[in-house]
A and B are shown apart, each in its own frame.
Chain A
Amino acid sequence: MIAANLPILQVIAPLLSAPLCVLLRRPGAAWAFALAVTWASFAIALTLLSQVLESGPISYEIGGWAAPFGIEYRVDMISAFVLVIVSAIGSAIMLFARHSVASEIRRERIYLFYAMYLLCLSGLLGIAITGDTFNLFVFLEISSLSSYVLISLGQDKRALTAAFRYLVMGAIGATFYIIGVGLMYMMTGTLNIADLAVRLPAVASTTTILAALAFLTVGISLKLALFPLHAWLPGAYAYAPSMVTAFMAATATKVAVYILIRILFTIFGGVDVMAGMHVGVILTGLAVIAMFAASTTAIFQPNLKRMLAYSSVAQIGYIILGISFASETGLAGGIIHLFNHAVTKSALFMVMGCVVLRVGSVNIRAFDGLGARMPLTMAAFVIAGLSLIGIPLTVGFISKWYLILAALEKGWWPIAVVVVLSSLLAVIYVWRVVEAAYFRPAAADAPEISEAPASMLIALWLMTGASVYFGVDATRTLDVALGAAKLLLVDRI
């Protein structure tokens, strides 16, 4: 029974645990319960991925109704890959969460915090696994609503404004998405993604479908913080509780990218949107600007969480760049960077969480001399920072290598140069922190601090280790990314 129902258990396990957390009410129990559920859902995601690799896409009919009449869960290589990314980060973060949350969230609200976290996780998993555009919207709402709450629980009062800003932008994004879905439904009579892919080409040149494409692309671009629609992101990431930032930076925008990939390559797969409707060129342009503008802004941020947030906007630029090539190599580069950036950025934000716990600030000044005082934490920062830049033997290198290959394949060598140049900007902002931590003495009145608690360090080093391990031996992740790109572009199923 369990084996046949794995696709639905992937989502409803965390979803059901949220109300159970509300009934549990004890902070410790809620944490332990959430930890068990997230690891179970990671195990399910790995099982699903191996099943997909072995025997192709899995379809699950919810309610026993065949698609397109009922809602279908559909796991193929790319959705399984995204499921693994989200649940892996989600379970590692839960290890990290215990001390971090206990110190940042008021005790009587901790059970609600974990309930919100589980909802957010199940929303993101639900988006990645569904084969239905309206069901996707419902889970988009679950994940968005819970993430607004999670962000607003930050200690800083500005977290409320940041969350509100994200709420307004996110609501516009979701509304645009649902308008797009409505318009597509009007012209095809279906909400199922696979069914839409079959029926859209016949009506693709109507103004209604063109408007639908515009609404969908802009709406999702808001969600994934594509330049210039990224204004909500830096504030939200800077003021959210540490574990929320680490989780959201690694998963929420990635899942939004996944939606964009689905729209452009599956739903509109039979229509030439990338070249014929110039979506590709527009995305390339925006991606390049994002890489430069956001990296440059990052250099000047005194608040390091905000700095890393701007860096995320730049990294999203790399992912979109890969997608915009619409070639197998480019798409694979974008898809693999989903994973690579997720592990790297969650490690970096976990470092911020450790520093917040011990020092109480993420201002660049607080990092003076931290290399000696929190050696393990700062060593992780250096390694993850190298990965962010894209030094060989880290995951960041693999992604950028593929992006450059894809650019050269198309003969767009200036783009390849741009990828290298923008990486140099990352060197600057990572170096600022390294310089402060290792080459500047601690302030004379700095309090005695100890290293972060073991559970936080384990989670941190899991992510740091992953960003080296999959950089040295990238065959597994590359196989999946290349397979997914081929599936999206060539086989089109």
Chain B
Amino acid sequence: MAVTALTMAHLRNLFGVVMLSGVFSLQAAALYVALDAVDVAFTEAAVGAGISTLLMLSALAITSSMEKSRKGVSKGPLALAVLTGVLLIYATFDMPVYGDPNAPIHQHVALHYIKNSGQEIGIPNIVTSVLASYRGYDTLGEVTVIFTAAAGVLAVIGRNRRSRGKDKKNGEKSMKFKSVLRVTSKLLIPPILLFALYVQFHGDYGPGGGFQAGVIFASAMILYALIFGVGNARQAIPAWVTRSGIALGVLLYAGVGIASMLMGGSFLNYSVLASEPTLGQLIGINLIELGVGVTVASAMVTIYYNFAAKAPEEWTPEEEEESEGDL
């Protein structure tokens, strides 16, 4: 990983940098597996190596793939980076040894989760219990962050009606006629979608959940858009669907919280949703994971659509679009 990172800092070809950052994420994912954090590894592989590489590539399509050359290394930032590194190393001096069962993190809150989550929540995957229930409110916050990002992309580079006609043109320019790619992707997309659904609804037993499922689903969509053109992708899933999706997912998640308040519990207390607390937890967790999945998938596709729409041949001066109210 260190070698990859140093090469990235050194390389001037941004295309290479993006590819290496994908490699870096895969290595990180492997490291997380080695550390027994399978859920984190899963997310890192899907988000870091998958989606963000794709998004960076589409950003490169708008700009140039070579970094503007700059002589020398700027000393200030380098010194700060070294200082931060030194401080981090300093922090490790008194750290508990990795895997030490007596370390504070294994003795306090985590121990409670391991001992009681089976009884209190009733699903086998403790990570999901923590993320979706004990700290479910943080997850709502994270989904809101995703929502903010997607709505922010819409606000900053969002497109509107006039440029919509140009999608057809874009579609023709894509790799429509590369038959190898077309056949392979047609073979790949259905299993990817199916796998996304599996990850979505299996999060309470194995690693996975809404975040990973949403990203996997979105990567299938983006693959389709890459091969068959954004225009065709937009016909399959129109932009208004994804735009509503990012909002509806958050609303579904928070709606579960409101429902639990209406039924007399505190916000996001799923136990009151059904007669049995554990059944309520199961219903609540599945619903909020669905909300997460919907928002994440819609957000990724929305961001991709908007980047793709900004490809150079389509660039129009913003003033021209001014008069169009997109209501």
Chain A residues at the B interface, C-beta cutoff of 8 Å: 1, 4-5, 8, 12, 15-16, 18-20, 22-23, 25-26, 60-65, 68-71, 106-109, 112-113, 115-116, 119, 126, 134-135, 138-139, 141-142, 145-146, 148-149, 152-153, 179, 183, 185-191, 199, 203, 206-212, 214-215
Residue of A nearest to B105 (CB): A189
Q: Is the Cβ of A134 less than 8 Å from the Cβ of B138?
A: yes
Q: Is the Cβ of A138 less than 8 Å from the Cβ of B145?
A: yes
Given that A109-B158, A145-B145, A145-B152 are known contacts, is A65 also in contact with B254, CB under 8 Å in the complex?
no
Residues of A within 8 A of B6 (CB): none
Among A20, A62, A187, A206, max chain B CB count under 10 A is at A62
Residues of B within 8 A of A190 (CB): 108-109
* Interface check B211, CB cutoff 8 A: no
| Assembled-state Cα–Cα distance A1/B257 (Å) | 13
- Contacts of B44-81 to chain A: CB distance below 8 A: none
Q: Is the Cβ of B88 less than 8 Å from the Cβ of A63?
A: no
Among B88, B113, B155, max chain A CB count under 10 A is at B155
CB distance from B157 to the nearest CB of A (A): 10
Q: Is the Cβ of A63 less than 8 Å from the Cβ of B158?
A: no
Q: Is the Cβ of B147 less than 8 Å from the Cβ of A112?
A: no
Among A18, A113, A148, A189, max chain B CB count under 10 A is at A189
Q: Is the Cβ of B96 less than 8 Å from the Cβ of A149?
A: no
Q: Is the Cβ of A64 less than 8 Å from the Cβ of B269?
A: yes
Q: Is the Cβ of B94 less than 8 Å from the Cβ of A207?
A: yes
Among B88, B107, B108, B110, max chain A CB count under 10 A is at B108
Residues of B within 8 A of A15 (CB): 144, 254
CB distance from B171 to the nearest CB of A (A): 24
Q: Is the Cβ of A215 less than 8 Å from the Cβ of B145?
A: no
Range, interface on chain B: 35 or more
Q: Is the Cβ of B91 less than 8 Å from the Cβ of A207?
A: yes
Q: Is the Cβ of A186 less than 8 Å from the Cβ of B251?
A: no
* Interface check B168, CB cutoff 8 A: no
Residues of A within 8 A of B154 (CB): 112
CB distance from B250 to the nearest CB of A (A): 5
Chain B residues at the A interface, C-beta cutoff of 8 Å: 87-88, 90-96, 103-110, 112-113, 133-138, 141-142, 144-145, 147-149, 151-152, 154-156, 158, 160, 243-244, 246-248, 250-251, 254, 257-258, 261-262, 264-272, 322, 324-327
Q: Which of these, B91, B133, B247, B272, contacts A20 with CB under 8 Å?
A: B247
Residues of B within 8 A of A212 (CB): 91
Residues of A within 8 A of B254 (CB): 12, 15-16
CB distance from A489 to the nearest CB of B (A): 27
CB distance from A150 to the nearest CB of B (A): 9
Residues of B within 8 A of A68 (CB): 108-109
Q: Is the Cβ of B91 less than 8 Å from the Cβ of A135?
A: no
A-B contact pairs, 9 of them (CB 8 A): A5-B267, A19-B251, A112-B154, A135-B135, A138-B145, A149-B152, A186-B104, A189-B108, A211-B88
Q: Is the Cβ of B138 less than 8 Å from the Cβ of A16?
A: no
Given that A64-B271, A119-B144, A190-B108 are known contacts, is A214 also in contact with B87, CB under 8 Å in the complex?
yes
Q: Is the Cβ of B106 less than 8 Å from the Cβ of A189?
A: yes
Q: Is the Cβ of A61 less than 8 Å from the Cβ of B266?
A: yes
| Assembled-state Cα–Cα distance A109/B156 (Å) | 9
Q: Is the Cβ of B257 less than 8 Å from the Cβ of A12?
A: yes
| Assembled-state Cα–Cα distance A275/B289 (Å) | 47
Q: Is the Cβ of B148 less than 8 Å from the Cβ of A138?
A: no
| Assembled-state Cα–Cα distance A44/B96 (Å) | 44
Q: Is the Cβ of B148 less than 8 Å from the Cβ of A116?
A: yes
